[in-house]
Amino acid sequence: MIVQLDNLATEQLIVAAGATDTTLRDTVDDLGSSQVADLLIDEIAFRAEIPVTDQPVQVQLDVLDRDRRYCYTFNAETGKMFTVAKSANPDAAQLIEYQLVDLCRELFGPSRRYSAAQRRVEARFKPANTPALWKAVVASHQATTALLAGIDNREIDLNALPARYYSDKWGGLHWFTSHYEKHLRHLRDEHVRILEIGIGGYAMPSVGGGSLKMWRRYFPRGVVYGMDIFDKSAFTQPRVTTLLGNQSDPDYLASVVEKYGPFDVIIDDGSHINGHVRTSFDALFSTVRPGGVYVIEDLWTTYCPGYGGDVSTKAAPTTSIGLIKMLVDAINYEEHPDGGKSMGGVGSQITGVHAYHNIAFLDKGKNSEGSIPDWVPKHPVNDFRPA
């Protein structure tokens, strides 16, 4: 299926799905109902669970818009993602119908803990009491359940997504997703923009991209941008755009922010070269939206000379962990004798520093709570030492 809408157009639809009926209707008309229907179907196929069925089975899903009907056949086969054909199938075991604007809200509208189903479902089994029929009924139920999981609002286990999309953020080398869940879940149902530096696979054009897919699935109303020094355009897909550029080039980073930012989440999983990490932070942190998060992965390179680190057990100021240590000071800039001037002002923009094994999360916001008043004694008032 060919989906023609880019991230900017998709963002228009996401915003409209949380607005009035008139706004959503006008946006669908502007973008084209056929293109919107294709985008929604691709999204369902991407989000759906991997089917486990007793036999191959087809489910037809029709999207209705005024006098138009767009027909799609989902093919379910155990252990494989759904494949979709843009056509009707009279032999499909089930027919599911959605009005286009209702499906837009189901997929891209604000999360609701409970909402009545907006679909019409029609079973298409032939009335015959045979073992083959009942086997088909079971397979249809299994396929339909997996398919509707791509539409219904369900809790996502972030720890399970790396295995599905071949990301290394959980299991084996790294154990990051539980920390990501803790620090990003407040944004999950928001309309957000995510920038990840580093797509993976080094120079191999068809290797990598697992994290981009993971973020696309985790943030149902988000758009994802992936940056890499190698061409990874093979991983561009609905709600995911790949960018070719160098994270150590401040001018290039500024151009990315100007065209696609600001961002709610920025993840540095790029070269891991300490100087590059510092350059990217200096160029990008201030552009994160208030309430957003900046993430630095693979802090282990702090202790690797080959990455610009140091074998010393105490991180040098020029390293990634040196940066984290500096930010702990910076967050308390109002208590510094010079008011934090030596920190370059970053302290007023950072509200939290959270460090874990090989990963750190930096909260963006307004940090201006004021210093401890002058009248508070700057020495212990009482001597609590035992007699």
Question: Which residues are CB-neighbours of 9 under 8 A, at least 6 positions away?
Answer: 31
Query: Reduced to 3 states, what is the DSSP secondary structure of residue 320?
Result: helix
Q: Kindly name the residue from 179, 183, 191, 272 that is annotated as catalytic.
A: 272
d(CA 297, CA 269): 5
Q: Which two tokens stand for residue 373?
A: 């008043």
DSSP code of residue 237: B
Give the number of other CB atoms < 10 A from CB of residue 314: 10
Residue 331's nearest CA partner among 367, 305, 298, 304 is: 367
- Output the CA angle 240-59-98, nearest 5 degrees: 70
Query: DSSP for 321-345?
Result: HHHHHHHHHHTTGGGSTTTTGGGTT
Q: Is 272 a catalytic residue?
A: yes
Residue 323's nearest CA partner among 267, 275, 266 is: 275
- Helix (DSSP H) and strand (DSSP E) numbers for the chain: 11, 14
* Catalytic machinery residues: 272
